[in-house]
Every structure is written in C-alpha cells, then in structure tokens.
C-alpha cells in the first residue's frame, strides 16, 4: 500500500507527560483510507490531525454505522516500539464490520496503517512507566444517504492519543453494580462487536451505577437476566475455589484480546480455566461459602481491574477481603511485562514497529 504523507506545518506542543488523562489529547497526524463500492479501498494518506468534513446526511450520523478498535503502542526500556497482538484487532474489526455491513479491510492494510502512523507520531509515545499511546482505528459510513441500507462509501481512520497509567497509584479494586434492568446485548445482536451503538446503549446503566456509588456495571444476559456477561467494557473472570471461570463467548460477549491472553497465561501456569455460563446465583453462593477468592475485569485500557465488591439485587457481596488477589496481581505483572518488552514473550504476542 502506497501511503501519501502530508506532514503537519504546525506541530503541537507535547502534553505534560506526568498528567495524562484518557482520550483528551491527540497526536499531530491521522491516517485516512477511502472506500467506494466497486472500486475498493484507495488513497491511503497520513495527514495533519484535523476535523473531518462530513455531509450532514452521512449515514454514520443517522444510523450509527461505525465500528472501532482499541489498542496501544508501548515504548520499551531498550527503545523499541511494540504493539500487542495487532492481528487480533485487525480480525476483530472485520468481524464487527461484517455484522453491521461495513466493508472488509485486509489485515495487512490495517497493520501497515497502524505501524506507519505510530512511526510518524512516535515522539508522542509516552516513556513514563505504565503510560502508552492509545490507538483508535475505526470505520465510518460517510455516504450521504438517508435510506437504511449498507453504505456505498466509507472511511477507515486512525487517530492516536497518549494516555497515562490507568492506575497511577497501583492496582485499585473497584465496586461493581449488577445491572438487572438494562441489558447490553442479546444473542443474535451486536454484543460481540465493537460498534458505536453498543456504547450509546450502555450509558444509561453506567450513569445509574455511578449515581448509586459504583464504578461500573456488571451486565447480565439479555433473556433471563441470570447469567453474567461482562463488566462495563471489560471481560470478567472469577476465581471460585481452584477453578477460574469466565463466561463463554456465545455471541453476546465481546471477545477481548486481553481475555484471550489471560486465559492462555493462566492455563500455561497450570490453572484450570473454564469458559462456561455462570449465574449471579452461583456467584452469590460462592461468596457465601467463602469460595469467591477473586474477581477481576480484563481489557486493553486497564489490563486487569480487580473487583472489590458487587451489589447484587440490593445486597452487597464483598470479594474475599476486598483487596487485590494474587491471580489478578500475577496476571497484571505478566501481561504488562510482555507488553512493555520487559518479560520474555513466549507466545509471540508482541509486534515491533520498525522506526
């Protein structure tokens, strides 16, 4: 792929590296690739970061025709720039696109574009411990048309944002509200995709949880409101006695890359990991029996997020002593160690960006 490069004439001042929040600052450039039905993807370019010109009738503005990915570039101590399993992001973007009828994007195109933009804006990759460059690739339907049908034109765009350590003071357990009214998805819906609409639909529950004094929502299945699906925008794992349990990917759950990596590591350490249905009733019983040893979320942003307590239908269920368990701690150290190139990468998960 030939990428046209138009460097910015006005580089921005770099942020205060020690006070980065999430998703507020953007780098100097962005990547854009256009798609037209019949002609395919063309005109790859890296141009100065700037607002997009969109027709007010662009389909994305009316019907939420958008899919996205979330990944990071890590600056290693020996000066390499690393991505973590970017092929998985490329594949997942296509599986999201397929579900909402956006066009297929070749995986090599995705990876080349991510690498090129990261290389061009490499001075924006934070060097601080735990900080990284968050990368947001996405596709929008930019065709001006008010009919509801798959679009004839789209854009694949990548923007980047330097982000600080998710837990500047170290891992911090969160309190979770078990949501019994609103649901995130149902089997047959779009729960397994990162499509914009899913997140719009989740806000009301998130807002409610915050008003009640909780950090995030635990989503239950959309039919019986019985089985556990995810926490907020993270997958969830439980240590129940000697078994580690995570809900199986049955179509309504987002297949997290951190989840997949966590399962592989846990199994390589000899843990029994079961991907199966787990009900709130089972969780509650395990808590009462003293078997609920740990609970934690996994996702690119936080990596591992320990859960200290759940509010279950009006009752508070503490997780063990409410602190950070040994499994969550070990996983966090192992995953971040591999991501930042500090630990050996036996599974070949890191991908070096040639700079």
| Distance separating alpha carbons of residues 161 and 217, to the nearest angstrom | 26
Q: Which is nearer to ligand PLP, 260 or 333 (CB)?
A: 260
216 is an interface residue for ligand PLP by CB under 6 A: no
- Identify the CA nearest to 129 among candidates 339, 350, 353, 330: 339
Closer to ligand PLP by Cβ: residue 126 or 297: 297
Tell me which stretch binds ligand PLP (CB under 6 A): 46-54, 137-145, 296-304, 340-348: 296-304
300 binds ligand PLP (CB under 6 A): yes
Q: Does 85 bind ligand PLP (CB under 6 A)?
A: no
Give the interface segment with ligand PLP, choosing from 108-116, 142-150, 255-263, 333-341 (CB under 6 A).
255-263
In the complex with ligand PLP, the residue whose CB is nearer, 105 or 234, is: 234
Q: Which is nearer to ligand PLP, 206 or 233 (CB)?
A: 233
* Residue indicated by tokens 């349990």: 245
CB of 153 to ligand PLP, least distance (A): 26
CA distance linking residue 143 with residue 185, whole number of Å = 27
Q: Does the footprint of ligand PLP cover residue 234 (CB under 6 A)?
A: yes
| Interface of this chain with ligand PLP, residues 193 to 212, rule: CB under 6 A | 194
Residue 242: which residues within 8 A CB-CB, separation 6 or more?
Answer: 272
Q: According to the binding rule CB under 6 A, does residue 258 interact with ligand PLP? A: yes
Interaction between residue 336 and ligand PLP (CB under 6 A)? no
Q: Does 192 bind ligand PLP (CB under 6 A)?
A: no
List the one residue from 299, 306, 325, 341 that touches ligand PLP (CB under 6 A). Answer: 299
Residues 6+ apart with CB under 8 A from 26: 49, 159, 160, 161
Return the structure tokens found at 1.
């792929």
List % helix, strand, coil for the chain (3-state, nearest 5).
25, 30, 45
Structure tokens at 210: 């915050």
Among 58, 135, 254, 265, binds ligand PLP (CB under 6 A): 254
| Helix H or strand E encompassing 299 | strand 292-299
Of the pair 60, 302, the CB lying nearest ligand PLP is at 302
What residues does 272 pair with on adjacent strands?
A: 243
Three-class secondary structure of residue 82 per DSSP: strand
């Amino acid at each position: 792929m030939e990428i046209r490069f138009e460097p910015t004439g006005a580089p921005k001042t770099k942020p205060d590296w020690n006070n980065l929040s999430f998703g507020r600052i953007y780098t100097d450039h962005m990547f854009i690739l256009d798609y037209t039905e019949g002609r395919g993807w063309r005109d790859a370019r890296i141009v100065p970061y700037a607002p997009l010109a969109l027709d007010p009738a662009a389909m994305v503005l009316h019907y939420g025709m958008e899919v996205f990915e979330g990944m990071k570039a890590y600056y290693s101590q020996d000066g390499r720039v690393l991505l973590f399993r970017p092929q998985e992001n490329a594949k997942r973007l296509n599986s999201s696109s397929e579900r909402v009828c956006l066009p297929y994007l070749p995986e090599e195109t995705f990876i080349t574009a991510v690498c090129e933009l990261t290389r061009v804006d490499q001075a924006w990759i934070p060097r601080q411990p735990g900080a990284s460059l968050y990368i947001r690739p996405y596709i929008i339907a930019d065709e001006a048309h008010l009919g509801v049908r798959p679009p004839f034109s789209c854009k694949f765009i990548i923007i980047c944002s330097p982000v600080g350590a998710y837990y500047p003071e170290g891992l911090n357990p969160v309190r979770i509200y078990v949501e019994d009214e609103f649901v995130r998805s149902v089997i047959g819906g779009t729960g397994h995709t990162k499509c914009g609409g899913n997140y719009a639909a989740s806000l009301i529950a998130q807002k409610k949880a915050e008003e009640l004094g909780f950090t995030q929502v635990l989503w239950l299945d959309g039919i019986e409101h019985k089985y556990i699906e995810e926490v907020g925008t993270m997958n969830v794992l439980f240590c129940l006695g000697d078994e580690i349990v995570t809900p199986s990917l049955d179509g309504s759950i987002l297949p997290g890359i951190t989840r997949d990596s966590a399962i592989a590591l846990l199994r390589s350490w000899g843990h029994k990991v079961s991907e199966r249905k787990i009900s709130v009733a089972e969780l509650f019983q395990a808590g009462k029996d003293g078997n609920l040893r740990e609970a934690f979320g996994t996702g690119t942003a936080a990596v591992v997020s320990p859960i200290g307590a759940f509010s279950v239908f009006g009752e508070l269920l503490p997780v063990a002593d409410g602190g950070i368990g040994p499994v969550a701690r070990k996983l966090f150290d192992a995953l971040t160690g591999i991501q930042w190139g500090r630990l050996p990468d036996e599974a070949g998960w890191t991908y070096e960006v040639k700079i």
